[in-house]
Amino acid sequence: MPTTFIRAIHDAMIEEMRRDDSVFILGEDVATLGGAFKATEGLLAEFGPERVIDTPIAESLIVGTAIGAAILGMRPIAEMQFGDFISCAYDQIINMAATLRYRHGGGARVPIVIRAPSGAGVHGGLFHSQNPESCFFSTPGIKIVAPATAYDAKGLLKAAIRDNDPVLFFEHKGLYRKVQEELPQEEYIVPIGKAAIRRKGTKMTFITYSAALYPALSAAERLKEEGIDVEVIDLRTLKPIDWETIFQSVRKTGKVLIIHEDRRTGGIGGEISARLSEELFDHLDGPILRVTSEDTHYAFSPPMEEFILPNVEKILTKARMLAGY
């Protein structure tokens, strides 16, 4: 039976909690309710209230508690009910979790995972649609993960739980029940820091991650009919980025289109573009282009939200423009 994206996350947590008694979950409504999206459904019954903990509506408290527990040897999974509200815990993440290992000369660790349901396209409006990954991208000491498939959601979450550094785990809400696949019965881990090539090609490279992978793949298939053979890279991990896979692809194709749902200004695509310009300029056969959300707040109105977000047609327009160089 195929496993949904949200079920893959659920199964990863339950497997790790069975494997390691130091793993526990805390967050708003994660216990009795089983989570706003049912990611923690049934965990309270199996593990009890000491390992599945309902907290007040206070993201700073949730992350601060997780940091303290991690320092004392636990492996907390802290859930932000919506990724938008991770900003309330910004100080704890940036000034405490991210710096602790450095401040102690490598003698301390903070093995926490902060799960953050994020992303638009679900008509969530201003406060339930944001993609906040770029807000943390420049900070040393944390890792950032953004899976696009059920397989990766499970494998990367298990890797994140076992990691000794803080990991921000961004889950696109639009993928929760839309994406599903058959998963292996045996245990597996997807390593943090390794991208996946979802489609091989020779004429152009699409670099993307999270839910933007799917319009990118759809556009790539349509472009094939026009003689434009596209390679599609799913970053999976945003920090650290798998530069080796990106560079190998760009050396081969010479043309790059970066696609992500986060806004254009200050988005991760800008850093990728700058790095490629600095290090692979002689391999480029055209400008590095981007397809992103517009530089505005996410709208509640479905037609307006669609106007703001990247989609297949926007990708096709930019890709055809790039192919003309």
Looking only at the bridges linking them, the beta strands covering 196-199 and 230-234 are antiparallel
Which element (helix H / strand E) includes 250?
Answer: helix 243-253
* Contact of 6 with 174, CB cutoff 8 Å: no
Q: Given 3-state DSSP classes, what are the helix, strand and coil percentages for the chain, each rounded to the nearest 5? A: 40, 20, 40
Q: Are residues 201 and 174 in the same domain?
A: no
Active site residues: 128
- What are the φ/ψ torsions at residue 266 (nearest 5 degrees)? 80, 0
pTM of the model: 0.97
Residue at token pair 């921000």: 168
Per-residue pLDDT of the chain (325 residues; tens, 9 = 90+): 899 999 999 999 999 999 999 999 999 999 999 999 999 999 999 999 999 999 999 999 999 999 999 999 999 999 999 999 999 999 999 999 999 999 999 999 999 999 999 999 999 999 999 999 999 999 999 999 999 999 999 999 999 999 999 999 999 999 999 999 999 999 999 999 999 999 999 999 999 999 999 999 999 999 999 999 999 999 999 999 999 999 999 999 999 999 999 999 999 999 999 999 999 999 999 999 999 999 999 999 999 999 999 999 999 999 999 999 9
Identify whether 188 is part of a domain. no
Q: Are residues 159 and 212 in the same domain?
A: no
Query: What is the reported pLDDT for 285?
Result: 96
Query: What is the reported pLDDT for 1?
Result: 85
CATH number at residue 233: 3.40.50.920
Interacting residues of 218 by C-beta distance below 8 A, sequence separation 6+? 312
Query: Taking CA 46 as the corner, what is the angle to CA 170 and CA 22, rounded to the nearest 5 degrees?
Result: 60
Joined together, the tokens standing for residue 126 give 């201003």
Going from the C-alpha of 13 to that of each of 67, 91, 151, 237, the distances in angstroms are 18, 26, 14, 19
Provide the residue range defining the domain that includes 89.
3-181
CA 200/CA 183 separation, integer angstroms: 23
- The residue type of 176 is Y
Domain count, the chain: 2
- What are the φ/ψ torsions at residue 258 (nearest 5 degrees)? -100, 130
Of 181, 207, 239, the residue that ends a domain is 181
CA proximity to 26, closest of 16, 40, 15, 38: 40
Q: Are residues 26 and 158 in the same domain?
A: yes
Q: Are residues 42 and 103 in the same domain?
A: yes
Query: What is the reported pLDDT for 271?
Result: 97
Looking only at the bridges linking them, the beta strands covering 256-263 and 289-293 are parallel
Q: Are residues 258 and 235 in the same domain?
A: yes
